[in-house]
Amino acid sequence: MEKEKVLFICTHNSARSQMAEGLLRFLASDRFDVYSAGTESTFVKPFAIEAMQKKGIDIRNQTSDVIDKYMEMDFDYVITVCDHARETCPYFPTTHQQLHWGFEDPSDAKGDDAFVLSEFCRVRDLIEDKIRSYFQIG
């Protein structure tokens, strides 16, 4: 059976889309080939890496890619995870379902490192809940 392809998109491909990619790959790599990209390419935020490590998921080797890299690929799902990406994301004509799941940007959190990390973990958990619910993962 061929795996379904999923692309998560966020503006900078540095936190929410990276965590979504890592979560779905960890939870259901037997069912999905998972990618993430941004309308701009930057780097994976250290707090995103640390929040995922707390769940036992290593995303240190994931890279921040720009959407253009994936425009010629066929996807079963293209999912924007931030409002700005939803507004600026190009249309993927070969996509079966183009969805929007808006999550707050944990990078906007202000405070000490412990508070900022807790915000990344909170958003990570919201993303995981949405992934589990939508893709019916136990």
Angle between helices 113-134 and 16-28 (to 10 degrees): 50
Q: What is the pTM of this model?
A: 0.93
End-to-end CA distance of the chain: 20
Instruction: Report the alpha-carbon distance of residue 78 to residue 21 in Å, rounded.
Output: 12
**Using one digit for the tens of pLDDT, what is the confidence trace for 65-98?**
998 888 888 999 999 998 776 666 666 666 678 8
Residue 121 a catalytic site member: no
Our CA dihedral for 43, 45, 51, 56, rounded to 10 degrees, sits at: 30
CATH number for 4-134 (one of 3.40.50.720, 3.40.50.2300, 1.10.3720.10, 2.40.30.10): it is 3.40.50.2300
Q: 65-69, long-range: CB within 8 Å, 24+ apart, which pairs?
A: 65/13, 65/35, 65/36, 65/37, 65/38, 65/41, 66/13, 66/37, 66/38, 66/39, 66/40, 66/41, 67/9, 67/37, 67/38, 67/39, 69/37
Quick one: pLDDT at residue 86?
65
Chain centre distance of CA 28:
14
Exactly one of 44, 89, 116, 121 is catalytic; name it: 89
- Residue 8's SS3 state is strand
Residue 46 confidence (pLDDT) above 90: yes
Nearest to 19 by CA among 92, 77, 106: 106
Residue boundaries of the structural domains of the chain: 4-134
Residue from 9, 20, 82, 123 carrying the catalytic annotation: 82
Residue 41's pLDDT band (cuts 50, 70, 90): confident
Q: Which is catalytic among the residues 7, 9, 10, 67? A: 10
